Amino acid sequence: MKLSRRRFIQSSFAFTALSVLPACSVNRSYDQQGRPVYDLTAMPSKAELVPGYQTSILGFNGQIPAPTIRCKQGQKVTIRFTNLLSEPTTIHWHGLRIPIEMDGVPFLSQPPIMPGETFVYEFTPPDAGTFWYHPHMNSVVQLGKGLVGLIIVDEASPVKFEEDHQVMVKHWHVDPQGEWKDLMIPRLSARMGTPGEWGTVNGSHNPSYSLQENATTRVRIANVDNTLTYPIRLEGVDAWVIAIDGNPVKRPYPLSEHKVGPGMRVDVGFIAPQAGERVYVRYMKGKFPFPLCEFQCVKSNLSPANVLPRLPLNPIPQIDLDNAQQIDFVFEWQGAVTPVDDTGKASPTFWLINKRAWNGMSENSIPAALASLQRGKTYIFNLKNVTQYHHPIHLHGHTFTVLELDGVKLDEPFHTDTVLLGKNGSAKAAFVADNPGRWMYHCHVIEHLKTGLMGYIEVT
């Protein structure tokens, strides 16, 4: 496939007066059809991650948290993205089923965006839900130092929650004075990855938010961490899982504990308690809860609600299991193999997909696909993790229907873009290969993909 040309800003755009969205400092205007147009910039900046200290970060529009991009299901959105970093970058729109030219993988779907350049991303999201965006270049550093943000796609027919909150969780590799520590330690990359030490929600440590009593509430929890899986629990309220990785579940179910791996999201719904009470979002380490954030309920004029709004299902293509082709994928550990390049720099490789390690690519060197799929056909990926470390397996451009986990057939299959495989875990995930292109397929523990656990599938 020939690489598409960069799409620079053209004078044919016609915009209404510029507006600034509250609490996110992102410029939004509108084209002649009333569709949103955002201006987004990747740039070095400083942020107060640890109170009282300034940390040098990489930020979208120079800020932590990054601006939230909000658009509407079935409506085109335009993002004019400028790279003010000292190195190339791109933006990948994680979880969105959009054309390959907009997927943001360098060389595979678009040329790298060089320093000083602007690229225009345009797409029409078919699915509503909670998604996120991040670079797909030098990911350990660019994501690790702050280039992560949410893109929320509102339902085509509005679903009204009285409160809608974003909880973007991330641990930072900084010391108590906000100075950077190692983002990647190879001996840890060969295990679960190098964990950060300073936990935040939306860039703040254990923040507190207000919540109207009796409000029907949607909390969008997104794991934008490089490494950590967060087993999530809510205390102080009866909460329900209403969406997984942006996709509404057919029948919401009570939240006890939900594991959210790197790149994954979960939306929970509840009716806010009375004024004076608190709702806690906890990160469970074994049996021990650690605080992420809390909501303090305040008085309101809202009447007590009996039910939560229901989310319509996304238009995921119907799978044809009777004619599906099955493909096995084994994720395993290669061992401490550390190649050295011509400059003497070590490039460790620890992980394999079907006995192959990802060794990178360039404009004139694209590795072979892990699998070539026929457009319109249903496939079942038999995923098997033969290591003691978990792997959140993410596929670009498509949505899985998870049929089975750890050998147990699911009574209620669910849709997701990332399947979390636990220690020696397995899954059966089906999808219709309806989106043509070369699509990245990888573990979303960033150090794992960096050291081999990545490849791509081709849909023709």
By the 10 Å C-beta count (0-12 exposed, 13-18 middle, 19+ buried), 340 is classed as: exposed
Which tokens belong to 296?
A: 């303090």
How far is Cα 96 from Cα 77, in angstroms, rounded to an integer?
Answer: 12
**Using CA atoms, how far apart are residues 163 and 302, in angstroms rounded to an integer?**
11
> Do 446 and 262 contact (CB within 8 A), yes or no?
yes
- Positions of CATH 2.60.40.420 in the chain: 19-154, 163-298, 321-459
User: Which residues of the chain are under the pLDDT cut of 50?
Assistant: 1-24
* Straight-line distance from the first to the last Cα atom of the chain, in angstroms, rounded to the nearest whole number: 10
Q: What is the DSSP string of 137-161?
A: SSHHHHHHTT--EEEEEE-SS----
Per-residue pLDDT, 340: 60
pLDDT at position 20 is 34
For the residues of 169-217, what is the DSSP string, one character each? EEEE-B-TTS-B--S--HHHHTTT----SEEEETTBSS-EEEEETT-EE
**CA 315 vs CA 99, 128, 166, 439, 459: distances in Å:** 16, 9, 24, 20, 20
CATH class of 19-154: mainly beta
> pLDDT at position 12, please?
32
Tell me the CATH number for domain 163-298. Answer: 2.60.40.420
Q: What are phi and psi of 411, to 5 degrees?
A: -65, -30
pLDDT at 119: 98
Cα–Cα distance measured from residue 75 to residue 124, given in angstroms and rounded to the nearest whole number: 5
- For the domain made up of 321-459, give the CATH fold: Immunoglobulin-like (2.60.40)
At 22 the pLDDT is: 36
Predicted confidence at residue 25, as pLDDT, reads 52
pLDDT for 336 equals 58
